[in-house]
C-alpha cells in the first residue's frame, strides 16, 4: 500500500483523497492537500441539487481538522462552484465542512467535547483557536445536541441553586434524575427560594439547606418548559455541582 493510500485511509472522508505528495509539515503544523475523487458529481451548496460538472473552482482554502499525531492539522482544499439550474452559481456542498467554515465538522465536534471537560479559555489556549470561535462552536453543538434529545416528560425532578455572583446573581438548575442530565438552567437576580416556580411546587419546595423536597411532583416538559404538578413519585435533593462556565 502506497503512502498516499495510507494517508487517504487515515483521512477517512468518503469520496476524497490525499493528492500526490500532499502531506507537508510547516513548523509545528501539518497541512494535508486533498481533492475530490474522480468520477463523482457535485451538489449545489444552497438547495442540494445534483450537478454533473463543476463551473469553476474557489481559491485554495485551509480548513482546520483533527490533530495528526499530536500536531495541529489543516486540510488544504479547492472547493468547486457549480452552476445550479435553481440557484445559479454556488459553492458545492460537502458533508464534512459547512459553507465558508474554517473548521471541519468533526473538528468542531472535538472542540465541543473538550468544552465539556474543561473551560472554554483552556480549550482555546490548548488548541490555539480564538476564544470567540470556541464559544460559538460550543453553543452550536450544545444547541444541536438539545435538538436531538428525545422530548418526554420529566418524572423525577432535582433542583439545586448556584450563586454565580453572591447576593447578585443566582442560577437554578433543574435535573432530570431519571435521565441523569441537566434539564434546565435559569439565571435570576434573586435566590431560588423566592421564585414563583417554587411556590408552584408547594410549601417547603426550596432547594439547599439539606432539606429534601417531598410531596409535590413536577413534570417538566422540555419543549414547553412548564412546571405542572402531577400525582405519584417524588422529588429528591441532588448534590450541588460547580458551574463550570
List of residues contacting Zn ion (CB under 5 A): 44, 46-47, 49, 84, 86-87
Rounded to a whole number of angstroms, the minimum distance from the CB of residue 100 to Zn ion is 16
- 47 or 118: CB nearest Zn ion: 47
Rounded to a whole number of angstroms, the minimum distance from the CB of residue 87 to Zn ion is 3
- 84 or 162: CB nearest Zn ion: 84
- 52 or 117: CB nearest Zn ion: 52
Rounded to a whole number of angstroms, the minimum distance from the CB of residue 78 to Zn ion is 20
Rounded to a whole number of angstroms, the minimum distance from the CB of residue 103 to Zn ion is 24
- 47 or 126: CB nearest Zn ion: 47
Half-sphere exposure of 12 (CA within 13 A, CB side): 6
Strand partners of residue 217: 230
- 86 or 118: CB nearest Zn ion: 86
Per-position b or e across 98-116, b if 16+ CB within 10 A of its CB: eeeebbbeebbbbbbebbe
Rounded to a whole number of angstroms, the minimum distance from the CB of residue 80 to Zn ion is 13
Residue 121 φ then ψ, to 5°:
-65, -35
Rounded to a whole number of angstroms, the minimum distance from the CB of residue 102 to Zn ion is 23
Closest CA to 29 of 4, 2, 64, 53: 64
- 44 or 235: CB nearest Zn ion: 44
Residue 44 Ramachandran class (φ > 0 left, ψ -120 to 50 alpha, else beta): beta
Task: Give the DSSP per-residue string, 49-67.
Answer: -EESS--EEPPPEEEEEEE
Using an 8 Å Cβ cutoff, are 134 and 141 in contact? no
CA distance 144 to 142: 5
Count of CB atoms situated within 10 Å of the CB of 84: 21
- 87 or 171: CB nearest Zn ion: 87
Closest CA to 240 of 138, 183, 171: 171
Rounded to a whole number of angstroms, the minimum distance from the CB of residue 198 to Zn ion is 52
Amino acid at each position: 500500500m502506497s503512502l498516499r493510500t495510507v494517508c487517504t485511509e487515515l483521512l477517512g472522508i468518503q469520496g476524497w483523497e490525499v493528492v500526490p505528495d500532499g502531506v507537508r509539515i510547516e513548523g509545528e503544523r501539518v497541512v494535508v492537500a486533498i481533492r475530490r475523487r474522480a468520477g463523482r458529481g457535485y451538489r449545489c451548496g444552497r438547495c442540494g441539487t445534483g450537478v454533473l460538472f463543476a463551473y469553476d473552482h474557489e481559491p485554495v482554502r485551509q480548513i482546520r481538522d483533527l490533530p495528526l499525531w499530536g500536531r495541529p492539522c489543516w486540510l488544504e482544499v479547492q472547493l468547486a462552484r457549480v452552476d445550479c439550474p435553481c440557484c445559479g452559481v454556488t459553492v458545492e456542498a460537502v458533508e464534512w465542512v459547512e459553507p465558508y467554515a474554517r473548521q471541519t465538522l468533526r473538528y468542531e465536534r472535538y472542540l465541543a467535547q473538550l468544552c465539556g471537560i474543561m473551560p472554554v479559555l483552556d480549550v482555546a489556549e490548548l488548541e490555539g483557536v480564538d476564544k470567540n470561535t470556541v464559544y460559538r462552536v460550543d453553543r452550536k453543538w450544545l444547541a444541536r445536541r438539545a435538538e436531538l434529545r428525545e422530548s418526554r416528560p420529566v418524572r423525577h425532578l432535582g433542583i439545586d441553586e448556584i450563586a454565580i455572583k453572591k447576593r447578585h446573581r443566582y442560577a437554578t438548575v433543574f435535573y432530570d434524575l431519571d435521565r441523569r442530565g441537566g434539564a434546565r438552567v435559569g439565571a435570576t437576580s434573586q435566590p431560588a427560594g423566592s421564585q414563583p416556580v417554587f411556590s408552584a411546587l408547594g410549601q417547603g419546595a426550596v432547594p439547599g439547606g439539606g432539606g429534601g423536597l417531598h410531596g409535590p411532583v413536577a413534570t417538566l416538559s422540555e419543549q414547553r418548559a412548564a412546571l405542572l404538578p402531577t400525582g405519584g413519585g417524588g422529588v429528591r435533593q441532588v448534590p450541588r455541582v460547580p458551574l463550570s462556565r
